[in-house]
């Protein structure tokens, strides 16, 4: 009886381990897809290297920081007063329609209509520190 429940417990934790590992692989794949999407849609205006300003502010370390916090970058008043903190959730919403979420900003990007691509972009942004 006892060995049987122990076995079941073992089987369950092995199964969990497999699920966990495949989730990590999935996030890795998504980040790679996100990087492709970033190179295509964002890299004209954004670098992911801290301090490297293009038309837009650098996005290194963007996940977790308040909007408009790269020192010296000339943000719009709208971005400065948005009160947004960039979390995976706010980024996802922002990328769906930047000017819809924060009217008056100066990022001329209409938005990414594909939710999968938005999620992949966010996975990628998590990896740029």
Instruction: Give residues in contact with ligand HEC (CB under 6 A).
Output: 41-42, 44-46, 55-57, 59, 62, 67-70, 75-76, 78-79, 86, 91, 95, 105-109, 112, 121
For the CB of residue 23, give the shortest distance to ligand HEC in the complex, in Å.
23
Shorter beta-carbon distance to ligand HEC: residue 22 or 108 = 108
Cβ contact 72:99 at 8 Å? no
Shorter beta-carbon distance to ligand HEC: residue 17 or 102 = 102
For the CB of residue 42, give the shortest distance to ligand HEC in the complex, in Å.
3
For the CB of residue 67, give the shortest distance to ligand HEC in the complex, in Å.
4
* C-alpha to C-alpha distance for 23 and 73, rounded to whole angstroms: 36
Shorter beta-carbon distance to ligand HEC: residue 7 or 36 = 36
Cβ neighbours of residue 28 under 8 Å, at least 6 residues apart? none
Shorter beta-carbon distance to ligand HEC: residue 27 or 93 = 93
* C-alpha to C-alpha distance for 126 and 129, rounded to whole angstroms: 7
For the CB of residue 111, give the shortest distance to ligand HEC in the complex, in Å.
8
Tokens linked to 36: 């492709």
Residue 4 has a CB neighbour count (10 Å cut-off) of 8
For 68-85, letters b (16+ CB in 10 Å) and e give: bebeeeebeebbeebebe
């Amino acid at each position: 009886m006892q060995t049987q429940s122990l076995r079941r417990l073992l089987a369950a934790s092995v199964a969990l381990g497999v699920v966990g590992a495949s989730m990590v692989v999935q996030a890795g794949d998504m980040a790679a897809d996100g990087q492709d999407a970033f190179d295509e849609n964002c890299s004209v205006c954004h670098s992911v290297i801290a301090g490297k300003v293009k038309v837009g502010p650098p996005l290194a370390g963007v996940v977790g920081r308040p909007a408009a916090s790269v020192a010296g970058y000339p943000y719009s008043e709208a971005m400065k007063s948005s009160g947004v903190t960039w979390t995976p959730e706010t980024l996802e919403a922002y990328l769906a329609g930047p000017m819809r979420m924060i009217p008056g900003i100066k990022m001329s990007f209409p938005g990414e209509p594909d939710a999968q691509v938005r999620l992949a972009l966010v996975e990628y942004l998590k990896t740029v520190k």
